[in-house]
Chains A and B, each alone.
Chain A
Amino acid sequence: MSGIVKWCVAAASILALFGVDAGPAAAQAAPKRGGTAIVGVSVAGATLNTQLTSAVTPLIIADLWASGLYKYDKTGAKKPQIASSWDISEDGKVYTFHLRPNLKWSDGHPFSSEDVAFTLKSFGQYNTYLVKVLPNIDRVETPDANTFVVRLKEPQSAALEGFDKEVFPLMPKHVYDGTDIPTNPANRAPVGMGPYKFVKWEEGRGITFTRNEHYWDQPRPYLDSVVAVFIPNVQQQQNALYRGEIDVLRPALPQVGRAIEQAKAKHAFDVREIKVNAAERLSLDINITRDMLAKPLVRQALLVAIDRERISKDVYQGLAFPAMNAIPEQFTMLTDPSVDYNKQFAFDPVRAGKMLDEAGFALKDGKRFSLDLTAAVNADAFYAEPAAQLIAANWRAIGIEVKLSLLEGQLWTNKVFKERNFDVSMVSLTARTDPLFGVDRSFLCNTSNVPYVNPTGYCNPELDAIAAKAAAVPTPERRQWYKQYEEIVARDMPHLTLTNARKFFAISSRFGGIDEELDLAFNGNPSMSNVWVK
């Protein structure tokens, strides 16, 4: 019964997605100024500065106040922002960004290439993505106020992906120079190049922004102000959207089906899918230092035993799909479909049992071995408990005794990454804009106990070399290296990639310009600079 209901919801969602395109009449209406938009977000923490955090709420809010050299459009292609164009030298070692002239920060202070160079030099070491590129940067140059040059030691085509708006929001030198950057008060009262200017942060309630008169993309933004309100409970976020108390929401996946139904019934808002999203993949880290998990065949058998189709349908309500291989489907230029878990490791409990027999774990008294499956069950991790239960049931069915340890996030972090005292750990990881930033961390050698970096004990210098090569070669050649990457991971299987989730935004129908507003990909969020009140 519930399967049928969920199938219907999934079908309805697909229909709705095709049916919501605004008609030509709406597209032709002229933008006008005025009005306010209210964006619903979860709770923000210590900082709004996305150079220092990758948490979801600051990322959503950053699109309002920050700009970057470029951002991504809905196909995943780069779209100029502060840099009107850029060139890459023949040898792939020099990036030259041509900046728009005569721009100003939201506080009216003039902007120049000095600010860009300062951002890289001063924030790079604190930025979780840029620290991967930094060692390869030879020097940065600012030949004039409108030119910013990055010189790399070795060619690294993935490095360019580190200069987009999400990873590299521009920071004002006149605010941060000579201060303690991680604790500068501007991290909570930002000055940026985005469409809106920070006004005030009311703790526990929300953050108010007003139109940035110095925005580079005039006559945008059209709205007078934007307010981000904090609603920690996802159910209440949905209620507030339905009541029209908020205009924009990134609904949690379990709420999307209901949002689409309500959108159809009420015609007050649209629910749209971001087709090229930053992959959000449910995965299992396997501790290969454990005796029973040491053989790759056992780890492959664990994957074969999992019904990933069912996790996609039941846990994600049809809004995820079984992942193909180590490199996310969203990286259409990079992933190679020749490695396909859905064919090579399709759900087959009988085969999984035979693989375990072959690995030396034949059934003894109905049991092969036992393991501990751990996961973090935070309020926003709706998938954690049901997915862990399904996986445990799949494994028990082939004679593996499974003990579930569902822990609060920080306890889980401590157990898995700091103490490495786990057998199998479940986690949902974002791949961001390039495998260099979001995928490599799960597979490459790692001896540190830094959270969210490969805790499995797997270390293969061959894979590390291929990953470095794949990030370095010119873009058209990258795929052939990632093919080898995928093959090694499929062979050794230290980290099982299970499902890949989709992403949606709900936005009020009282705005015009929604198509343009949602022309975004990966970790992009509505900047509210393209919409106007109809």
Chain B
Amino acid sequence: MVRHIAGHAAQALLLLVGVVIAIFCLLQLIPGDPVQAMVGDMPVPPALRAALEQRFHLNEPFLDRLFGYLSNVVHGDLGYSMNYRRPVIDILAERFPRTLLLAGAGYGFGILIGIAIGIHSAVTPHRSVDRGWSGLVLIGYAMPTFWVGQLLVIVFSIQLGWLPTQGMGPMISRAEGVDWLLERATYLVLPVATYTILETTRVARFMRASVAETLEQGYIVTARQKGLSRHEIIRGHVVRNSILPVITVMGYSFGTAMGGAVLLETVFSYPGVGSLMVEAVRARDTQVIVGVVILIACSVVVMNIVVDLLYAWLDPRIRVAAAPR
């Protein structure tokens, strides 16, 4: 198992270097001018351009910048942001936990609810219930995230006035302790709910298909003939076996899920890595863009390792096969 994971990590490292080089080349090919982005829609005075280009090494040859950056990354330095005027690593350290909280909560709720809906939908004896669930899931799946977000804001913030419209908390707050946590939580409800709807529909579709397939397996027929109750069959045989493919899909779609955070954070003015990415692209803040990509790539790698471990835990066959002989 350890060797298996080490192999994965080595592969991931190569992948990361490739990703960094690819992004660097892409950013080189796209026209963009960070100095103009800073000044706005007016001409940049020559003296200002010269000073900033010199200070931020904007005119150095491409290969020098690429190798300089790679060597910095190897030394644990992700560079310096021109737009925020501080080290990229500090910015990521501040922003990533927020996105992780948002995406993690949405992802977690989404998987749990999605699995429940998928199972119920597949095992229900009533065709109309199955169709109802499938219809709902399809509608949810078809709705764009930003639209769902806006819709929830209109209903729960504007019409009902229960929840704040955007942000991650009040800028000035006198709340402390539990009150502070509750205050912050109200700001998370709508973005997390939006995220959950997105993830739920994704999971539910896979789970339903997977359970339907498991139900046709021979061992289910055997279990039924053994006289096990419906409940025992579903819990002991169906769920465990059906969940494996779903975990694979969810693990590999974690990157996509992080991408979903970009839209979601923009809709809710939530200051995570998603809105950081949008700001960085607009400002052509190259080192931040590459930093965010590295961060997301790393989190996908970690997620894949987690998936491997989960697999081994859920399925003894894999544990045995991976063990050193």
Contacts and interface: CB of A to CB of B under 8 A. Distances in A.
A204 B165 contact: no
Given A236-B165, A239-B165, A54 B271 contact: no
B172 interface: yes
Contacts of B36: 410, 413, 451
Given A203-B94, A411-B31, A413-B33, A239 B44 contact: no
Given A205-B171, A233-B266, A429 B41 contact: yes
Nearest to A411: B31
Interface string A113-134: 0000000000001111101000
B278 A180 contact: no
B38 to A, nearest CB: 5
B165 A203 contact: no
A227 B172 contact: yes
B85 A204 contact: no
Interface string B247-279: 000000000000000000011110110011011
Given A188-B85, A410-B33, A232 B51 contact: no
Interface stretch (B18-26, B59-67, B134-142, B153-161): B153-161
Given A182-B52, A242-B158, A418 B31 contact: yes
A53 interface: yes
A46 B85 contact: yes
A249 B267 CA distance: 18
A6 B4 CA distance: 64
A232 B40 contact: no
A378 B40 CA distance: 13
Nearest to B55: A183
Nearest to A126: B48
Nearest to B270: A204
A240 B164 CA distance: 8
Nearest to B170: A245
Given A206-B171, A429-B41, A232 B52 contact: no
Contact of A182 (B48, B91, B167, B171): B48
B43 A239 contact: no
Q: Which range contains the number of A residues in contact with the other chain?
A: 35 or more
Interface string B77-97: 000001111000001001100
Interface string B162-191: 001111100110000000000000000000
A175 interface: no
Nearest to A407: B31
Interface centre among A180, A203, A225, A430 (most CB of B within 10 A): A203
A501 interface: no
B30 interface: yes
Interface string B213-243: 0000000000000000000000000000000
Contact of B158 (A208, A227, A239, A410): A239
Contacts of B43: 128, 441, 450-453
Contacts of A239: 153-154, 157-158, 165-166
Contacts of B268: 236
A479 B128 CA distance: 78
A420 to B, nearest CB: 13
Given A208-B171, A239-B157, A240-B165, A203 B283 contact: no
Q: Which of B44, B55, B166, B272 has most chain A Cβ within 10 Å? A: B166
Contacts, number: 154
A236 B271 contact: no
A414 interface: yes
B152 to A, nearest CB: 11
Given A54-B39, A411-B30, A451-B36, A243 B279 contact: no
Given A46-B82, A410-B32, A243 B164 contact: yes
Contacts of B157: 239, 243
Given A205-B167, A232-B275, A53 B41 contact: no
Nearest to A418: B31
A337 interface: no
Contacts of A240: 165-166
A410 B31 contact: yes
Given A46-B82, A242-B158, A413-B33, A204 B41 contact: no
B113 interface: no
A243 B167 contact: no
Contacts of A202: 171, 271
Contacts of B272: 204
Contacts of A204: 95, 271-272, 275-276, 279
B150 interface: yes
B51 A180 contact: yes
B45 interface: yes
A80 B29 CA distance: 50
B44 to A, nearest CB: 7
A233 B269 contact: yes
B271 A203 contact: yes
A297 interface: no
A55 B40 CA distance: 5
Q: Residue among B38, B45, B153, B266 with the most chain A CB within 10 A?
A: B45
B37 interface: yes
A45 interface: yes
A450 B38 CA distance: 14
A274 B210 CA distance: 62
B269 A232 contact: yes
B284 interface: yes
19 contacts: A46-B38, A55-B40, A125-B45, A128-B42, A128-B44, A183-B85, A185-B85, A203-B271, A204-B95, A208-B171, A225-B172, A230-B271, A231-B166, A236-B267, A245-B165, A411-B30, A413-B36, A429-B41, A451-B43
Given A410-B37, A451-B33, A451-B44, 9 more contacts: A54-B41, A204-B279, A205-B171, A230-B269, A231-B269, A233-B266, A243-B158, A378-B282, A452-B41
Which 10 pairs from chain A and chain B are nearest by CB? Answer: A204-B271, A414-B31, A55-B40, A125-B47, A239-B165, A126-B48, A54-B42, A128-B42, A410-B32, A54-B40
